[in-house]
Amino acid sequence: MRYFSTRGETPPMAFTDAVLTGLAPDGGLLLPDHIPDVRDRLAAWRSLGYVQLAQELIALFVDDIPRSTLDDIIRRAYATFDHPEIAPLVPVGGVSVMELFHGPTLAFKDVALQFLGRLFEYVLRQRGEHLNILGATSGDTGSAAIAGVRGLADIDIFIMYPAGRVSELQELQMTTVLDPNVHCLSVSGSFDDCQNLMKTLFGDLPFKSSYHLGAVNSVNWARVLAQVVYYAWASLRFDSDVPVRFAVPTGNFGNVFAGYVARRMGLPVGDLVVATNENDILSVFFNSGAYARGPVRFTITPAMDIQVASNFERYLFYRLGEDPAALRAFMRQFAETGAASVEGGAGGDFVATAVNVAETSATISAVYAESGYVVDPHTAVGLAAARRLPYAGPTVCLATAHPAKFPEAVDAAVGAPVARHERLERLRGLPARSTPVPASLQAIRDFIETHAARR
């Protein structure tokens, strides 16, 4: 299995090289040279536990790590979760909620980043190298990435987050980690600003090489791969003639793109519902074929307050007939004008709808009143979208974070203090460390040059 760039100007590479590369040198995103067809394995896979399924599926995409070593990396990654099923399904009002928040930081990002952190550790030790991870977070990626690599001698991690635009507890999950290899940067701007700074620095190839920059954002293929597993897991839990529909709260598109990969593999994945908040660039695209950037709207679902979805490029590559030149032209037009469109429209690969703040709060309230179940605002967006769009088969909504990460919004919607978790409450009052910086390329560059180990 080799990995190539969507933009077609980077030589193919092995899986471990793709893990360390993150964003391709030509600015594109890495994809496998083929997606395995697993339809002849589904009957056997139905009887597997989550970890066993992850070991079988991930191994199909990895041929440069010994199988026994890869299996051990996966086993250790999910030993950190506090639920034996890793991603349990909970029936809530006719929909199955897949709880993806049982990892160390109570967010779905742990599913991928506990795996990625151990991958980094293995590859760097094999090569005798040091990696400087640069990441941007709208809330959960930062803490999950930090939890995956804190204290590791071969890694320094630099996480940018938009000042005042993540929840208090999300910020504390990052800034109270005082290991010397952890660097938190509070950026005076939006998440899109942070993401653009990250991509620009990755595009500076001499700087990237000199400081051996690596990525933990979902531009890293290994993150998407780990997320494919829970679509496989959930889709095989139902005995239905109709494929399973997934409603996915969506900001950066990596989570729902993993479902698209699962469906291309032949798993029984039906409709993929792209559920956005009022930052509806993806919803507009899948309903019209027009992709146009607008101003970032700040909502009670901060992880989705995004106007430029970095993983969208991976889907576009397939939608444009796997033509790198067409992809480059689309991305160039979007970069220059803030808008681009696909001839023939968006196709039928996704169903999309946008959910506003009032509907989000109303859904949190209604779900609690109906079933006593507490959902975070992002999960509520997914549930609202699922309720809005009829479907003949089973529906799974991805619960992307524990509601205790957003107590203000959840408690206000329910009218009672219901969003609590002991692990988060213990963070209050702890020493914290963060560096405020302007949304300036030079400021981020200077900080890395001062604090990072050169290659």
SS3 172: helix
Residue 394 domain-assigned (yes or no)? yes
CA distance between the termini of the chain = 28
The count of domains in the chain is 1
Quote the distance between the C-alpha of residue 395 and its chain's center.
21
What CATH number does residue 403 fall under? 3.40.50.1100
For the stretch 275-305, pLDDT in tens is: 999 999 999 999 999 999 999 899 999 889 9
Residue 35 in contact with residue 83, Cβ under 8 Å? no
3-state secondary structure of 214: strand
Is the pLDDT score of 453 beyond 80? no
What percent of the chain has pLDDT above 70?
99
Q: Quick check: is 290 in a domain?
A: yes
In-domain check, residue 411: yes
Number of H helices, E strands in the chain: 19, 15
Within-domain flag for 95: yes
The answer to whether position 432 is within a domain reads no
Which residue range is the domain that position 367 belongs to? 89-104+222-421
| 178 lies in some domain | no
Residue 365 within a domain: yes
Mean pLDDT, residues 116-142 taken together: 93
In a domain, 385, yes or no: yes
Please name the helix (run of DSSP H) or strand (run of DSSP E) that holds residue 150, with its range, or none: none
CA distances in angstroms from 303 to 37, 138, 386, 409, listed in the order given: 32, 5, 19, 14
Name which of 23, 30, 42 is nearest 263 in CA terms: 42
**Residue burial 384-417, b: 16+ Cβ < 10 Å; e: rest:** bbbbebebeebbbbbbbbbbbbbbebbbebbeee
Of these ranges, 18-22, 50-54, 212-216, 294-298, the one predicted with the greatest mean pLDDT is 50-54
SS3 435: strand
Catalytic residue numbers read 109
Q: Does the global pTM surpass 0.75?
A: yes
Confirm if 275 and 248 have CB atoms less than 8 A apart.
yes
